[in-house]
Chain A
Amino acid sequence: MTGRDNEPYAEGFVSIPTLGKSGIVKFLIDTGNSTTCLGEPDVLKMGIDARSLPTPGIRHMGIGGKGNAREIEGPVMVCLMDEEHRLHEAELENISVILNHREEEHRGGKIRRVDYPYPSLLGRNYLSKLNCTLHFDFKNWDMFIEI
């Protein structure tokens, strides 16, 4: 793992045929997360207005409490690339979008809105669909996925 702050990131490709949108997404590999989610900036980058999407029927809970989520109905195709440049695609029934955490900061008599975006998260539904095996080497900050 040589990403920022030793976080395991991987670029992937997401395609949403129902919306005619697709794009490259930087995923944080998150084995603690049951479902793959997109962060608001990655959705905006694809040209989708995240806040106009429908609210999902299920709650999205995290360490900080209930997440402010939206949902994109699938099928949604998520691809990662291996070292030989082959693409590994999983079809997901839908994908959640986690909206930015918004705070108001009071500085010098002014109120400023600050957006704290969440990263896109590659969750266990992708990893299990492709029968992945994860290898961690924390001594050398190295990690890879075997499919």
Chain B
Amino acid sequence: MFDMGKSTGSSAQGICCNNHDEVVAQILSASENTRWVSEHMAELRQKYLHKFIAVHNGKIVASSEDQASFFRILRTKESKNLPMIAIEFITDENERWIL
């Protein structure tokens, strides 16, 4: 993960800030879910290689090889939690991003 240091300037006062508390709560929850994915990547690779997974509160709430099916499942089962859910495509340890 990555830290944003203390701001030396003023916070923005735009659309995001109109829903400040809700956005902050969602970001914090999403960060926890992302952290859980990072900490469990070795196990996830064994079970979900080349699948999309959705994680919320330390649980896999959906998984599928097919992106369209995956999002159908998520919208049906987890529409309320969708903003906070961490979505990850599980790649092989030997696959690297070169962007």
Contact = CB atoms under 8 A, between A and B. Distances in A.
Interface of A: 1-4, 7-13, 15, 17, 23-24, 26, 28-30, 32-33, 40-42, 44-45, 62-64, 77, 79-91, 100, 112, 114-119, 121, 130-131, 135, 142-147
Contacts, number: 149
B12 A89 contact: yes
Contact of B6 (A1, A15, A146): A146
Given A8-B2, A17-B15, A81-B24, 20 more contacts: A3-B2, A4-B37, A9-B34, A23-B83, A26-B86, A40-B67, A41-B67, A63-B98, A64-B98, A80-B4, A81-B23, A82-B5, A84-B6, A88-B4, A91-B14, A112-B65, A115-B66, A117-B67, A121-B99, A131-B9
B90 to A, nearest CB: 10
Interface of B: 1-9, 11-17, 20, 23-24, 26-27, 30-31, 34, 37-38, 41, 50, 52, 65-67, 71, 74, 82-87, 89, 91, 97-99
Nearest to A25: B30
